[in-house]
Structures are given as C-alpha cells and as structure tokens.
Amino acid sequence: MAKARTIHVCSECGAQHPRWLGRCSTCGAWESLVEESTGAEPAPTADLLAVEPSAAVGKAVPLREVDASGAPRLATGIDEVDRVLGGGLVPGSVVLLGGEPGIGKSTLCLQLAAALGGTGPVLYVTGEESLEQVRLRAERLGDVPGRLLALAETRVEALAEPWREIRPQLVLVDSIQTMRTAAVDSAPGSVAQVRDCAALLSATAKAHGAALLLVGHVTKEGSLAGPRVLEHLVDVVLTFEGDRGHPFRLLRAAKNRYGSTQEVGVFSMGERGLLAVPNPSELFLAERHAGSPGSCIVPIMEGTRPMLIEVQALVAPAGYGTARRTCIGIDDARVALLLAVLDRRSDVDVLSCDVYVNVTGGVRVAEPAADLAVALALASSRLDKPIPADAAACGEIGLGGEVRRVGRLDQRLREAARLGFGRVLLPAGADAKAPGAEPVPVTEIADAVRWLRDA
C-alpha cells in the first residue's frame, strides 16, 4: 500500500508538483501552487482481467443496438442558448459556464432559471449573493415564476435536502468556486474543493436526471480558474465573452458532448438583462461614421455566423523615441506583422509612425481573415484616403505580401451585400459569389493599396 503524501497542485492549470515552487513550471503562473494531500493509492492490479468477476459487473452491448434518439432536451426557451447547446439542456448533463467577473454570468443564469421555472421546478443556488440581491435582479429581468426556488448556501451537503424535496429539472450553482464540501478540508475555491464539489454535484445530477449548470470564474488569462480537471468532468463548457464597457456578449461552446462547438449565441446586455441579437452586423455598424480615413469593414465568422465589423486604424507621426503600438480587440503581434508587410511589400511607409488599431463594438477578432481589412485601414489612415463607403475587405495576408484565401467566402459576401457593401476586396482566385456583391480580386497587398489610391 502506498502511503498518503502531500503534493502541490497549481490552481491555474492543475499540474501536480512534488514540492512547492514559487512559479508553476507547467503554465508559468506565479504563486499558484497549493498543498493537497492525496489519499493512499490502491496497489495497482497487475492484470485487469484478473479482477474477481464479482467486481466487474459491466456488460458490453453491440453499439448499433444502442438507442441514441433517446436523449430528450429541455429547451430553455432562450433561442440563443438553445442553439449553442445544440437544442437545449440534456437531463443529467453538467454544463460549466465560464466568464470574467461582471460579464453577466449570474444574469444569464437567472434568465435561464426563470425561463425553465415556467415549465418545471428549478433550484438556483447562490454562494455569492444574498437572496434579496437575487430577487431584486430577477425582478429587473421580468416575471419571476413560482417554481423557481432559490437557496443561499455554500455547503454542498446542504443541497441534498432541498434537492430531494423539490426534484428540480435544473440546478444552477453560482459559483462552483464558492462551494465547499466537508469531505475535503482545504479552503473554498482551492483545487481540491472545486473538483470534489463539482464531482459530487455532477454525480447527484446524473443519478436524478437533473440538468446541472455550474458557474465558474475565469482568470485574467481567460482560462477557467481552478483545475483543468473541471473541464474534463463536465459535458459542456460554455464561455461567456465580451467587453464590460460594451453591451455586446458572445456565448460559445468550448466543449459540447451533445452538439457542435461551432454555434455562437449573440446577446446585448441592457437595462432588463440579456437580449438576443439576431443581426449583430447591424449592431456593430450602427454608429459607423462612413467616409473617414482609417476605417474598413470586414465580414468575420463567429462559428457558422457571418458578421460585419469595423476595423479602425490611426497612423500618426511618432514623437521621439520608439513608435507606439496600441491594439484593442486584435492581437498586437498580428498588427506588428501586418505593419512590417505593409512597409516592405507596398509603398506605404508606416514603420516610423505611432499606430493605433481598434475593433469597434468590443469585439475580439482572432481570424486571419481580417488581415486585409486591417492593412487597408492602416494604409487608408496613413494616406489620409477614406475607403469607399460601399466597400469591405476580407483575406489573409502572408509574409510575402500575398493575399490568401479564407473559408466560407460565399457566406461572408452575402452578409456584406445584405448590409449594402456591394464591393468586397477578396483574394484573387477565390470564386466566391453572392447576389448584389461585386468581388474585387487582389493578389497582393500592393494591389489593394493601388486600388485604394485610385478609389
């Protein structure tokens, strides 16, 4: 029998280290290691098949005889959420909802709880707010159904009684980091607590056929705080993203055992909570000031949905010292690369200038498909020449200055045409078509700059 020992677990990435370190050697986080004791591990069995038959009661069945149509879904009634989940919540499944503080996780939970509280019992467990606070918020969001029951509790064991009594179809726990179990004696929020609480709750949900939604905080770096093991433990990982200064919010599935991870839900945070946004492009372009230099429209894809966003650039003469580079909503390194390519592969000189790039609406663009639009916005600002009001651009730019093809061009073109962008600069050779959109093929970044000068 191995003896019980202590290990040090990183609370950022879940890596285990035999002794304490100031910095986790796996993920590089500082002071993230916490001590944990591991129980005595059972002696490994030499051969799995040598185990007593009584201990092995599993029975294998032919896969093609398994009935897969049986997973019924609890439609939440909030279309944007149902879409991301793949049709609704699956009873007995565990969903983890992650997001930065203040982004709207509790609001989304309460809206879900209220929507499902109209069809059956729902238990909302809050470990962070008082019942009065939850009530006030619920009132702000609309009607509060009678079958939505709330409980302010942080002890997991204390959920057993209400759970047994209410027989909820959905249990929401806000947040998993505030929960603790008597089975572990480390502090709430520690790796061991979070993991064991989640495991206990999920086993209960599975045994009683309730859907379970756990709210989890994320760290500054955007990963779920607490152990990575939480992500393995749950069936669906949803992330709620956005910029707190803007109303726009995106709900994505980072993992989904019951559906696609390609769908996104788009919301806007308003006075009365989260509202679905059926046409995100219109939201982003509402405040656009067409005709000013340095602005370019690009059709990006969020999952399977195209949306038009505006990239703004400001190129100004640098003061003394090193030129400044400030990027909001787009990766700094990507912009640095595009500046270098623009400088070497076209006649626009930008390297000695201060450069500011902003993606409007609080959106974050990670797609290389936005390269051409960023480069054009930079050139437009530097040359002080506005991009025509009916033009958009889309394409990846390589280090040689070549404009490369990107996926789903037809869909992007259609979205551009729908909002009145009749001309779209595209990689030459891509045979994308959409009614009402005229492709302007470009081979190299220099072509695009030439087109802008002549426009």
Instruction: Work out how close the CB of 112 gets to ligand TYD at its nearest, in angstroms, rounded to a whole number.
Output: 12
Instruction: Work out how close the CB of 107 gets to ligand TYD at its nearest, in angstroms, rounded to a whole number.
Output: 3
Which residue's CB comes closest to Mg ion? 106
Options 10, 85, 103, 419; binder of ligand TYD; rule CB under 6 A: 103
- By beta-carbon proximity to ligand TYD, the closer residue of 62 and 102 is 102
Does residue 102 bind ligand TYD (CB under 6 A)? yes
Does residue 106 bind ligand TYD (CB under 6 A)? yes
Distance CA 426, CA 451 (A): 12
Q: Is 70 left (phi over 0), alpha (psi -120 to 50) or beta?
A: alpha
Does residue 269 bind ligand TYD (CB under 6 A)? yes
H runs (alpha helix) in 51-130: 79-85, 105-117
- By beta-carbon proximity to ligand TYD, the closer residue of 178 and 295 is 178
Residues near 155 by Cβ (< 8 Å), separated by ≥ 6?
179, 180, 181, 182
Does residue 238 bind ligand TYD (CB under 6 A)? no
Does residue 362 bind ligand TYD (CB under 6 A)? no
- By beta-carbon proximity to ligand TYD, the closer residue of 51 and 131 is 131
Instruction: Work out how close the CB of 217 gets to ligand TYD at its nearest, in angstroms, rounded to a whole number.
Output: 8
Instruction: Work out how close the CB of 200 gets to Mg ion at its nearest, in angstroms, rounded to a whole number.
Output: 22
Q: What is the largest CA-CA distance in the chain?
A: 82
Residues near 194 by Cβ (< 8 Å), separated by ≥ 6?
176, 177, 179, 226, 227, 230
Taking contact as CB under 6 A, which single stretch among the options 114-122, 160-168, 269-277, 343-351 is the one that binds ligand TYD?
269-277
Q: Cα-flanking dihedrals φ and ψ of residue 103, to 5°?
A: -80, -25
DSSP code of 366?
A: -
In the structure encoding, which two tokens stand for residue 175, read together? 């947040």
Taking contact as CB under 6 A, which single stretch among the options 80-88, 98-106, 147-155, 342-350 is the one that binds ligand TYD?
98-106
Taking contact as CB under 6 A, which single stretch among the options 94-102, 151-159, 278-286, 296-304 is the one that binds ligand TYD?
94-102
Query: What residue has token string 């340095």?
Result: 294
Q: Cα-flanking dihedrals φ and ψ of residue 341, to 5°?
A: -65, -45
Does residue 98 bind ligand TYD (CB under 6 A)? no
Instruction: Work out how close the CB of 345 gets to ligand TYD at its nearest, in angstroms, rounded to a whole number.
Output: 44
Taking contact as CB under 6 A, which single stretch among the options 105-113, 180-188, 260-268, 424-432 is the one that binds ligand TYD?
105-113
Output the CA angle 437-443-447, nearest 5 degrees. Answer: 85
The kind and range of the H/E element at 354 are strand 353-359
Does residue 101 bind ligand TYD (CB under 6 A)? yes
Distance CA 242, CA 246 (A): 7
Does residue 137 bind ligand TYD (CB under 6 A)? yes
Please provide the size of the chain in residues: 455
Instruction: Work out how close the CB of 187 gets to ligand TYD at its nearest, in angstroms, rounded to a whole number.
Output: 21
Instruction: Work out how close the CB of 102 gets to Mg ion at its nearest, in angstroms, rounded to a whole number.
Output: 8
Q: For residue 216, what are the β-bridge partners?
A: 98
Distance CA 243, CA 99 (A): 11
Binding interface with ligand TYD (CB under 6 A): 99, 101-107, 137, 140, 269, 271-273
